[in-house]
Amino acid sequence: MNMNRLVGVLFALGTALGMAAFAAPALAQPIPIADVWRPPAYASPTLSPNGRFFAVSVPVNGKMNLAIVDLEQRSVSRITDIRDFDVLGMRWVGNERLVFTLGQFNSPTGAGRFDGGGLFMVSRDGKESRRLAPTVREVRSRNQVVYRGYEVLRTLPGNDEEILVTGNQRDAESADVYRMNVRTGRTTLLTERRPDRVFEYVLDNNNVPRVARAYVRDRYEFIVYYRKDADSPWEQIAQYEGSKGPILRPLAFESDNQTMVVAWNGDRPTMGIFRYDPNTRKLGELIAQHPRFDMGADASGQVIAGVIRDFRTNRVIGYQVQADRPETVWIDEDYARLQRMIDGALPNRVNNFRRTPDGERLLVTSFSDRQPAQWYLLDEKKRTLEELFSSRPWLKPDLMVEQRSFLLKTRDGLEIPGYYFLPNNYKKGERLPTVVHIHGGPAARADFFGSGFGFAEAQVLASRGYAVIVPNFRITPGLGSRNFYAGFGTMGRQMIDDHQDAARWGVAEGFADPQRICISGASYGGYATLMALARFPDTFKCGISGLMVSDWSLMLTSPAGDTSTNEIAVSLVTAMVGVKSIRDIPADVNPVNLADRIKQPLLIYAGEDDIRTPLEQTTRMIRALERAGNKPRAVIVKPGEGHGFGKTENNVELYEAILKFLEESIGKRGN
C-alpha cells in the first residue's frame, strides 16, 4: 500500500464520491481478463486488538502473503514469503503475533484449503515464526492417509501467546479442544472426556467446551451433545438426518452461560435464530428470521450472518442476512444513525461497519457489484472517512456489469434465488448468445452479490456481449430449507433439470437466444455441464467443463483425492445421489458412462495437482469422449495448479480460449 495515497474524505451526507462513473457507457467495452483474475491488491484486512495494526494479505510472487500496516507510523511491512499457497484465515494473537493457515484463494466454491491447511504463527515484526501443524501436502508426501492437524477455535483476549484450537491428535475420527501456546507449540488437552466422532465445538463465555457436534458413522446424520459445565457428563440433546432435518445448530451462549442462541428450521421455511434452554431442551423466543434466506446458520450447519452484538456489552444491536444483496437491520438507533451517515457518504453500495477494539473508530467495508471492496476508517469525532485499502483499484466501475437478481421457479415448484448479467448497453428484446454458469459444491453457496467464481466469469463474458445466468439450484444452502433438502436423492437428475430450467427462464425473459446457449462450470459445475449436455442436447449447444467429476464411484474410492478419506464427505455424496453406499451408485449419474450421448463441442480444463477432483477424473472423460467420436475442441491442463487456477497468466490463457470457443460454438453478439 502506498500510504501517501491515504486521503481524508470529508464525511458528509450525500457526498457523491464520483458515483457518476457508474453510468453505463454508450458502447460496451470489454474488461481486460487479467484485471478480473489477477490477485487483489489487498484482502481480508484484520485489525489488531489495540487498534494500531492491520494484518492484510497482499500478492507476492503470485501468491497472497501476509503484511502489517502500522496506522500510527503509516508504514507497511511484509512478513511472509510463501510461494506455493495463499495465506488464509489470519487471526491476531494479542497485538504481537498472528496465526494463519494456507490454501487457495481462488476456487469454484471460494477460498479453500485443499492440499494446504496446516497452522502457522508469525510475529508482527516477522522475526518469530513457527509451524504448528503441517499442510495436507506435507502429510500426503509422506504417504500418510490420515491428516492430523489443528484449527483455530478462539483467540483469548489479553493473551498474546495462547489460543484455543481443535485437533484430531488423539483420535483420527474425533476432534478435541486444546489450549495451545503458539510460541512453543505446546498444547494442553481440555476435553479428556468427550463423545465419539466429534467434529465441532461451541464454547461458553468462560471458554469451556459445552456443546459438541458429532457425526454418525456411514450415515449423513448428526448428534448434538451438551454438558452443564466442565465437570458434568455429556448429554445428547438433538439428533437429525442432514438430508431431512430439522437441524438444531447451537451458535453461542448468552451472558448467563446457560441460555443458548441456536439456529433452527423445524416447521418453518428458513433457518431462524432462537433462544434455547439446553437443560429443558425447549426452544425459547424467536430472535430473527427472513422469509426466503437462512439466518445464523444454513441447513447444512454452516454458520452464516445473523445476530449482531456489541463487542463490549454483548447486547443485540442488529441483524444481518445474506440475501440477494446483504441486508442489515439495526435495532440500536446509534448504529442506525451511523448506517445512514455512511450510506450517504458512500451511496449505491453495501456498507458494513464495526467498531475498532478501542471503541473510538469504525472500520467500514464498502462494495457493490460494480465497485470492488474498499475499506475506510471512520472517526466519528472528526467526522472524517479515511480510505485505507482498495481491493482491486484497476477495475473500473464503468466497465463492470450490473449483477441482477431473479427467482428461478423450477418445474416441480421450487423458488430459488439466483443472478444474471447483461451487457451494459443491452436493449430490451435483443436476443443474446448466453452462458449458464453452474457453481461448484454442489452443497455450497458459492456466488454472492459482488463476489464469487461465477461473478468473475460473468463480468468477463458479459462485458463482451454475452448474457450470463448464474443460477442457484436445489441443494444450495442458505436459500431456505425446502430448496436445500430437495437436493438429496437428485444428483444427476432433478438437480440437472434445474440447470435447464435456468436456461429456459432466460429464453422466457427475452434476452437468451434459444439456439445459442452454452453451459459452463467448475468442480460440481464441471460435472453438471457434462450431465446437462448428455441430457438436454436441444437446450445446450456447447459446454465448458472445468475441474470435473466424471465418475462419482471413483471419486469416493480413489486415494488420488481427499474425498475418499472423509467420512462426512462420502456420506454427503451418497445422500445426494440417493443411495446407501458407494456400490449402489447408478451408472447413469456418471458422465463417463454417457460420453456417447454428448455430441456438442466441449472445452475442458483442469489443474494437474488437484486433489479435490483429481486429474484422473478429467483424463478418463477425455478418453471416453474420444472413443465416442467427440474429441474435445480444447483441453487445458496446467501443472502447479490445483482446484482452480491461481496464476493470472493461466486464467488469461483459459479465458482467451473460452472466448474463442464460445465464438466458434454459439457466435458473438450481433451475429
Higher-confidence residue: 535 or 255?
535
pLDDT digits (tens, 9 = 90+) for 440-454: 999 999 999 999 999
The reported pLDDT for the residue numbered 648 is 95
Average pLDDT over residues 472-493: 98
Strands (E), 185-315: 187-189, 198-203, 209-215, 221-226, 235-241, 248-253, 260-264, 272-277, 282-288, 307-309
How would residue 3 be classed by pLDDT, with cut points 50, 70 and 90?
Answer: very low
Average pLDDT over residues 339-364: 91
The reported pLDDT for the residue numbered 14 is 30
pLDDT digits (tens, 9 = 90+) for 47-75: 999 989 999 999 998 999 999 999 998 89
Distance in angstroms (rounded) separating the CA atoms of residues 117 and 562: 13
CA neighbor of 594 nearest in space, from 539, 546, 550: 550
Distance in angstroms (rounded) separating the CA atoms of residues 633 and 600: 10
Are 546 and 108 spatial neighbours (Cβ–Cβ below 8 Å)? yes
Q: Is the pLDDT of residue 168 over 70?
A: yes
The reported pLDDT for the residue numbered 28 is 61
Look up residue 117 and give its three cell numbers: 491447511
Q: Per-residue DSSP letters for 557-597?
A: T-TTSSSTT-HHHHHHHHHHHT-SSGGG--GGG-GGG-GGG
Q: Is the pLDDT of residue 501 over 50?
A: yes
pLDDT digits (tens, 9 = 90+) for 606-656: 999 999 999 999 999 999 999 999 999 999 999 999 999 999 999 999 999
The reported pLDDT for the residue numbered 5 is 34
CA neighbor of 69 nearest in space, from 85, 55, 84: 55
Is 534 strand, coil or helix?
A: helix
Look up residue 324 and give its three cell numbers: 440477494
Are 543 and 518 spatial neighbours (Cβ–Cβ below 8 Å)? yes
Distance in angstroms (rounded) separating the CA atoms of residues 309 and 319: 9
* Beta-carbon-side half-sphere exposure of residue 55 (alpha carbons within 13 Å): 28
Higher-confidence residue: 4 or 668?
668
Are 259 and 251 spatial neighbours (Cβ–Cβ below 8 Å)? no
Q: Is the pLDDT of residue 18 over 50?
A: no
CA neighbor of 320 nearest in space, from 342, 351, 346, 361: 351
pLDDT digits (tens, 9 = 90+) for 92-151: 999 999 999 999 988 888 888 889 999 999 999 999 999 999 999 999 999 888 899 999
How would residue 355 be classed by pLDDT, with cut points 50, 70 and 90?
Answer: confident
Q: Is the pLDDT of residue 562 over 80?
A: yes
The reported pLDDT for the residue numbered 25 is 36
Distance in angstroms (rounded) separating the CA atoms of residues 125 and 335: 35
